Homo-oligomer: A and B are copies of this chain.
Amino acid sequence: MKKLVIFGVGLIGGSVALALKQARFTSHIVGVGRTKSSLDEALTLGVIDSAETDIAKALDGADLILIAAPVAQTTAILQSIKPHLNKQTVITDAGSTKGDVLAAAHTVLGAQFNRFVGGHPIAGAEKSGVSAAKVDLFIGKNVVLTPTTETNMDAIASVTQLWQACGAIVSEMPAENHDGIFAAVSHLPHLLAFALVDDIAARPNAAQLFSFAASGFRDFTRIAGSHPEMWRDISLANRAALLNELSAYQLELNQLKQLIENEDGAGLQALFERASVARNNWANSKTR
């Protein structure tokens, strides 16, 4: 590939750039961003080859465009690139939700929607910004692509190769399946952690409560330190699946509450055993 344009050179966009440079996958990487200071930082760190504020210049001769900005900016970015797209340019994104992104791309890109491949790299992101970018962020990590029946096969192949060059394991599924899966295993836990900390922080004795919180609390709430704007966008973008997950979880909590109210020791132990066995099996399978 000759020219890659990255919108949003933060943790994700910056790490892609570093990995592709190391793999010699691209000859030139252009960064486009909201703020000049972060682009300057990306240039200084050697993450990108050039920074551009003029979209026409940035896209001239571009083989692939990666949108790695916050999800809520996707529509505006697609609108800004639409007039300058070449016929062969492939477009992909790195957003945590896919149904909303595909809908936006379909609306904005029209006939060129077949060159858009939705993507989601599953890589930890509690730190943000280009200074947190790492060349090995995606090694061994899952990347899910969500092509539709309309998507051009060469476009899918280009995006697959990009992520494989970063060391990732690429799979494909419909956007709806993706959003359902991540509502359960990522978006719901984030909301539960935010909710617990907010619940405790609002109390008159919050300082005393926090002073006795220990390592279990630390790990459980780590994801409550995540980026508020990003999680606002995800919560809204994946609204339907997330509301389903919250409802299912509330039923589970009601069941647990009932077991405690009934002083049902056997029922509690059975629930805790199912959970601990499943959790430890999962953790062991991941370290293999």
B232 touches A124 (CB 8 A): no
CB distance from A197 to the nearest CB of B (A): 4
Residue A135 lies at the interface, judged by CB distance under 8 Å to chain B: no
Contact A256-B212, Cβ < 8 Å, known A218-B283, A232-B268 = no
B273 touches A220 (CB 8 A): no
The chain B residue with its CB closest to the CB of A253 is B195
A253 touches B263 (CB 8 A): no
Residue A154 lies at the interface, judged by CB distance under 8 Å to chain B: no
Q: Chain A binding site: helix, strand, loop or mixed by DSSP?
A: helix
Alpha-carbon separation in the docked complex, A182 to B205 (Å) = 13
Contact A201-B275, Cβ < 8 Å, known A209-B185, A236-B260, A286-B218 = yes
Pick the contact of A216: B189, B228, B273, B278 (CB < 8 A): B189
Residue A265 lies at the interface, judged by CB distance under 8 Å to chain B: yes
Interface 1/0s, chain A 258-282, versus B by CB < 8 A? Answer: 0111010100110111111011101
CB distance from A139 to the nearest CB of B (A): 14
Alpha-carbon separation in the docked complex, A113 to B186 (Å) = 49
Alpha-carbon separation in the docked complex, A249 to B276 (Å) = 22
Pick the contact of A122: B212, B223, B280 (CB < 8 A): B212
Contact A275-B122, Cβ < 8 Å, known A208-B181, A225-B280, A249-B199 = no
Alpha-carbon separation in the docked complex, A222 to B265 (Å) = 22
Interface 1/0s, chain A 218-250, versus B by CB < 8 A? Answer: 111111111111011001100100110011111
Interface set of A (CB-CB < 8 Å, partner B)? 122-124, 126, 141-142, 144, 181-182, 184-186, 188-203, 205-206, 208-229, 231-232, 235-236, 239, 242-243, 246-250, 252-253, 256-257, 259-261, 263, 265, 268-269, 271-276, 278-280, 282-283, 285-286
What would be 6 A-B contacts, judged by CB atoms less than 8 Å apart?
A122-B214, A194-B271, A195-B275, A202-B274, A210-B278, A225-B283
